[in-house]
């Protein structure tokens, strides 16, 4: 959460300009409410390779995708 807050307080648009930021997140962050603060036109959420795919994770990703 601190990472996202810091990026937006610093002005993520100043960092990435008109490009997308690709950032790897762990499963805890993906299930957190902080994920919903990400603006999809500025940042792409990537999952760490060590995350095991399961039903709750797929449900969460589908939910987030519909909100983006």
Taking only the tens place, the pLDDT of each residue in 12-32 is 777 778 888 888 889 998 998
Q: How many domains are contained in the chain?
A: 1
Q: How confident is the model at residue 3 (pLDDT cuts 50, 70, 90)?
A: low
Domain interval for residue 18: 2-67
| DSSP strands (E only) in 1-68 | 21-25, 43-47
More reliable by pLDDT, 50 or 13: 50
Task: Give this prediction's pTM.
Answer: 0.70
Helix-strand-coil split of the chain, %, nearest 5:
55, 15, 30
**Cβ proximity of 58 and 47 under 8 Å:** no
């Amino acid at each position: 959460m601190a990472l996202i807050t810091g990026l937006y307080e610093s002005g993520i648009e100043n960092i990435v300009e008109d490009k997308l930021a690709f950032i790897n997140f762990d499963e805890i962050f993906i299930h957190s409410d902080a994920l919903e603060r990400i603006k999809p036109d500025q940042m792409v959420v990537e999952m760490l390779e060590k995350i095991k795919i399961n039903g709750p994770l797929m449900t969460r990703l589908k939910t987030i995708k519909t909100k983006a």
